[in-house]
Amino acid sequence: MKNTNVLELGRAIKQLQNLNHRRLETGLNEIATTLAQWDALRAIANNPGASAHALAEETFQTDQSFGTLATRLIEKGLVERCPGVGRALLHSLTPTGRSILEQGLVVAHRINEDSFGNLTAAERAQLLALVRKAIA
């Protein structure tokens, strides 16, 4: 079957993503957050003034899911929300939210080093280039 390698590649990528996400989830539990929460903090910090819709897209969520998540982050004192233009809601990190984001970056760096530690720097660069090429 001609598509066997493509199917195997798709499954291998999904397997790697799943393994990496499970490791990140476990590591982020150490700082009392989840991967979804930390990713939302990262998206908010990296996209100042972005709408909730844009942040939902950035975090691979629906608008409704991101809204629910943002509400939880507000309740935890990690995010503030204020009105933007029209019906848009703008999000920003509180000092506590920024601290959790920074702690999570340390955890994510450690986990990703572990996940990709068996690859050389050149192999990591090549893998990144190939994944970006496939996405484009």
How is the chain classified by DSSP, letter by letter? Answer: -TTHHHHHHHHHHHHHHHHHHHHHHHHHHTTT--HHHHHHHHHHHHSTT-BHHHHHHHTT--HHHHHHHHHHHHHTTSEEEEE-STT-EEEEE-HHHHHHHHHHHHHHHHHHHHHTTTS-HHHHHHHHHHHHHHH-
Could you report the per-residue pLDDT of 42-75, keeping only the tens digit for each?
A: 999 999 888 888 999 999 999 999 999 999 999 9
| pLDDT value at residue 3 | 65
Mean pLDDT of 82-100: 89
pLDDT at 44: 97
Which domains are assigned to the chain? 4-135 (1.10.10.10)
Q: What is the pLDDT of residue 87?
A: 77
**Over the stretch 5-50, which tens digit does the pLDDT of each residue have?**
988 999 999 999 999 999 999 999 999 999 999 999 999 999 988 8
Q: Which tens digit of pLDDT belongs to each residue from 102-127?
A: 999 999 999 999 989 999 999 999 99
Euclidean distance between CA atoms 66 and 126, whole angstroms? 33
Average pLDDT over residues 89-101: 94
Asked whether the CA dihedral 85, 90, 95, 98 is positive or negative, the reply is negative
Mean pLDDT computed over 91-101? 96
* Confidence grade of residue 1 (pLDDT, cut at 50, 70, 90): low
84 C-beta neighbours (distance < 10 Å), count = 14
> If we measure between CA atoms, which residue out of 15, 53, 57 comes closest to residue 39?
57
